[in-house]
């Protein structure tokens, strides 16, 4: 009866704790099917859409010039900024 139910709940909670945040997110995406994949893709796109300009402008503020993507040193600095 009631003695079994809490033990089952504890097992589920322990299993969830063992998953990393990324694993939890990917599990939710899989469970949501196509809608989950589309939602995840849109969030990633939005993240990069906003983060790349922030990194580039941050680089400009720190160095005083726009990054030269053909210069290896500038690429390393930009990578460090991100």
Q: pLDDT for 6-48, tens place per residue?
A: 555 555 555 556 778 888 888 888 888 888 889 889 999 999 9
Hey, what are 5's tokens? 């139910």
The pair phi, psi for residue 59, each rounded to 5°, is -60, -45
In this predicted structure, the answer to whether residue 76 has a pLDDT above a threshold of 70 is: yes
Predicted confidence at residue 30, as pLDDT, reads 85
Q: What is the DSSP string of 2-33?
A: TTHHHHHHHHHHHHHHHS-HHHHHHHHHHHHT
Predicted confidence at residue 1, as pLDDT, reads 52
In this predicted structure, the answer to whether residue 5 has a pLDDT above a threshold of 60 is: no
Instruction: State the pLDDT confidence band at 81, using cuts at 50, 70 and 90.
Output: low
């Amino acid at each position: 009866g009631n003695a079994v139910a809490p033990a089952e709940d504890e097992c589920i909670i322990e299993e969830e704790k063992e998953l990393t945040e990324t694993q939890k997110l990917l599990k939710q995406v899989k469970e949501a099917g196509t809608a989950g994949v589309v939602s995840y893709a849109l969030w990633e796109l939005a993240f990069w859409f906003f983060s790349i300009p922030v990194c580039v402008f941050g680089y400009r503020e720190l160095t005083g010039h726009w990054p030269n993507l053909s210069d290896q040193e500038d690429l390393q600095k930009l990578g460090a900024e991100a």
